[in-house]
Amino acid sequence: MNAIAESTIKRLWSLVLYAFRISVQDSHSKWRTAIIFSLFLIAHLVVLPAHALGSDIGLRSFSHLNLKIALFAFLFATLESVLINLWVQLIRQKNRCRTAPAAGGIVIGMVSPLLCCTPLLPTILSFAAILFPSTVSGMGLKIQYAVNVYQTELLLLALLLLLGAIAQNAWYLNSGHPMAGHNKK
């Protein structure tokens, strides 16, 4: 059983490395990667400090950066730029992109800091309370508390989802699997 897990991890790691190589294979890919990385890095550096700033998100966020936030922003921007490059390669080969895990990772990475101390969650819950009044009562503070306490774990989960999306899309790009669309007649 251990050998199976070890070979699976090696295969996933090789797919992730393949995805990173695809992202810098030619000059167009390098430029696209650099531009996407820069945009996502700025976006994450502005959004991730939201747990300390509340709803005051903007350039003021840069004064509240610390090593943990900068590291997560760098990792998110790196993985998202590689993933978008994989999507571009899949589209060029007329294959379908696998976006579900990536969407989960991006949404968790961008939205979880906003749920902690901004009015976003109470606003969403107030709309839900219109439809289901008894279910929502008192839920907002519990969710905000959980997001605040487990923010690092949520961000790690988002990174794992992005890595899974990269491995899945790299597999579809690299394999000859019929579902990947490489064996079209």
Reported as a single tens digit per residue, the pLDDT across 79-98 is 989 988 888 888 887 777 66
- Residue with more model confidence, 13 or 36: 36
- Rounded distance between C-alpha atoms, residue 70 and residue 180, angstroms: 36
If you average pLDDT over residues 29-41, what whole number do you get? 92
Highest mean pLDDT among 72-76, 106-110, 153-157: 72-76
**HEC string of 32-92?**
HHHHHHHHHHHHHHHHCCHHHHCCCCCHHHHHHCCHHHHHHHHHHHHHHHHHHHHHHHHHH
pLDDT at res. 84: 87
Helix axes 2-22, 151-174, angle to 10 degrees: 80
CA distance 118 to 38: 25
pLDDT at 19 over 60: yes
Nearest alpha-carbon partner for 144 in 45, 65, 50: 50
Contact 169, 83 (CB under 8 A): yes
Please tell me the pTM assigned to this model.
0.73
SS3 94: coil
Look at residue 183 in the predicted model and tell me its pLDDT: 45
Give percent of the chain above pLDDT 90. 10
